[in-house]
Amino acid sequence: MVSTRLKKRLFLAMLALLVLWPLVHYGLSRLYRINHWRFAGFAMYARPAYVPYLTFAGTLPDGPLTPQRLRAALGKDGAARIDSFVARRRLWGDLARPDAIGRLVLARLPELRALEVIIITVGLEPGDSYLSYEPQHYRYR
């Protein structure tokens, strides 16, 4: 049988977690742009989720990297891996880095001199009604 003292401690621990988690979740969603709709986040009632958009830039011997050339090199499995990364990025925010995608593109296009993955995150920031666009650049050689 569980003692009253243990029950009281468990209750206070759960109450403290319930009180502190919204503050921690808010800080994580602001700092790393994790999805504020997930992980029992109370911010889901305040604004829409961040949406990441990926663009790729690079130079091939015959000119710049085009979306058609990238699609042809990656194929269906590469496109599925990019879609999987975008879903992971929506959930984990800046904590999900595109390193695996960069290595995949460089492996499929060995003639590529350098690759830049640009992730533009679109979101609605608290305190205003304007969309924010924040690009992040990741370079791979």
Higher-confidence residue of 138 and 35: namely 138
Q: How far apart are CA 110 and CA 106, in angstroms?
A: 6
Q: pLDDT per residue over 73-96, tens digit each?
A: 888 898 899 999 999 998 888 899
52 forms beta bridges with 121
Residue 12 pLDDT: 94
Q: Which residues is 118 bridged to in the sheet? A: 55, 137
pLDDT tens digits along 38-58: 777 766 665 667 789 999 999
Global pTM reads 0.69
